[in-house]
Amino acid sequence: MLPDRLDRDALLADFRTYGRPRPDWLVGGEFERALVRPDGRPVGYFEPDGIAWVLAEMARRGAWDVEYEGDHPIALWKNGGSITLEPGGQVELSGAPHRTLSALAAEMMGNRSEMLSLVEGKDLVWIACGLSPITSMDAIPWVPKGRYEIMRQYLPHFGDMAHFMMKGTCSVQVNLDYSDEADCARKVRASAGLAPLTTALFANSPLYQNQLTGYKSYRAHIWTRTDPARTGFPRSLREGYSHEGWVDYLLAAPMMFYKYGGRWIPAEGRPFRDYLEHGHEGHFPDANEWLLHQTSVFPEVRVKRTIEIRGADCVDHRLAVAFCALFTGLLYCKTALAEVLDLVAELERHGDPADRLAAAAVGGLEGQVGGRPLSDWARDLGGIVRRGLESCLPADLPLLDPLLANIDAGRCPADDLIDAWMTNRDPVSVIDAVRY
């Protein structure tokens, strides 16, 4: 429990209370999807069948509680899960934590059925890919949230593709537990070190404005051109994570906004540490503002009460569940975790993190690290995760099958999308290839 007046010692002490015993470990998924017209044109918030309508209809049909900002619905809440909006109207399900991957999959599939039912018979299509493939970023309208208006103004000063990240990209993420700081450190090292393989395996954004970008994951490239102070992953924490190092990273991270008194106020890059020590116009941050600040940094792996692994493009529903299964099998089996740490150590002997990630972003599983295609590294990883998931959640092993099939074939989703585009470049056909 944090005190009313925060300081570094209290924040660090709070982090050191985090963790759950092994029998109680859970898994949660986060799934972003975009809504477009059948020819790929964007759907705005205020259109008659636009994003605000989507939230209102989902709330009405599914008995969700609605959160408003002013008069505008911006989020839904129910049973430990939420549906929220990204800046370009991307719709994200943040699922409840579950004991099994099968339960996670059932929740996600139920949400998918709701979303598909909602647009049935309408001029609307849900798509699953890492970057909206047809429309330009300038054509995508902004969601009316005070936070996003500040980010819209702030982030382009520090990265020329920040608006691409905000309005055009979609991802899948997984949240996993750890038992204590030492366990967290091992899992962070494994998850951060696997970033090239995560990017390559789930690469699914080769197109922009209906043209090849030269990348299998253009989304991964976009992140390298978005505010380096809050993206990537700090080298010191990659090599030796500690809660103290993580808290200091968060305290040094530049703030984009304050939120108190019901207002969003630009913070203009002030380090959170300075706000903590000196306040703003007589106001000092509380626990909610500390939690909010943590959501304004976007590293490949983000540590809170869970470890959030963030490096994958949005993919279809089967492969999205397989992404969650991948890291559950790797991190929740002690033997698999030890094996994957050895694999990470071998990967890290070749080049630096930026070079390894660039190879994955450009080439997908055809990218080279250490003279080996990433498809070879992925086969090693596939054997580890198969054994790991069979050990910790054997009934959920079939959920890995779509990923293991791609590994066996040496293909990522971007390869299938490129093939579809080469066959028929009509926008309607391209959108049909990435239907959710």
Amino acid at 208: Y
pLDDT of residue 309: 98
pTM of this prediction? Answer: 0.97
Joined together, the tokens standing for residue 255 give 């703030």
Backbone angles phi, psi at 291, to 5 degrees: -65, -40
**pLDDT tens by residue, the chain, 436 residues:** 898 899 999 999 999 999 999 999 999 999 999 999 999 999 999 999 999 999 999 999 999 999 999 999 999 999 999 999 999 999 999 999 999 999 999 999 999 999 999 999 999 999 999 999 999 999 999 999 999 999 999 999 999 999 999 999 999 999 999 999 999 999 999 999 999 999 999 999 999 999 999 999 999 999 999 999 999 999 899 989 999 999 999 999 999 999 998 899 999 999 999 999 999 999 999 999 999 999 999 999 999 999 999 989 999 999 999 999 999 999 999 999 999 999 999 999 999 999 999 999 999 999 999 999 999 999 999 999 999 999 999 999 999 999 999 999 999 999 999 999 999 999 999 999 999 9
Gap between the Cα atoms of 160 and 219, Å rounded: 14
Place of tokens 């450009």: 362
pLDDT of residue 1: 80
The DSSP string of 259-284 is EETTEEEE-TT-BHHHHHHH-BTTB-
For 171-198, how does the pLDDT look when each residue is reduced to its tens digit (9 = 90+)?
A: 999 999 999 999 999 999 999 999 999 9
Number of helices (H) and strands (E) in the chain: give both, helices first: 19, 15
Gap between the Cα atoms of 241 and 317, Å rounded: 32
- CATH code reported for the domain at 8-253+297-433: 3.30.590.20
Domain residue spans of the chain? 8-253+297-433
DSSP strands (E only) in 27-147: 27-36, 65-69, 72-78, 81-85, 91-94, 125-127
- In 353-400, which ranges are continuous DSSP H helix? 353-363, 374-392
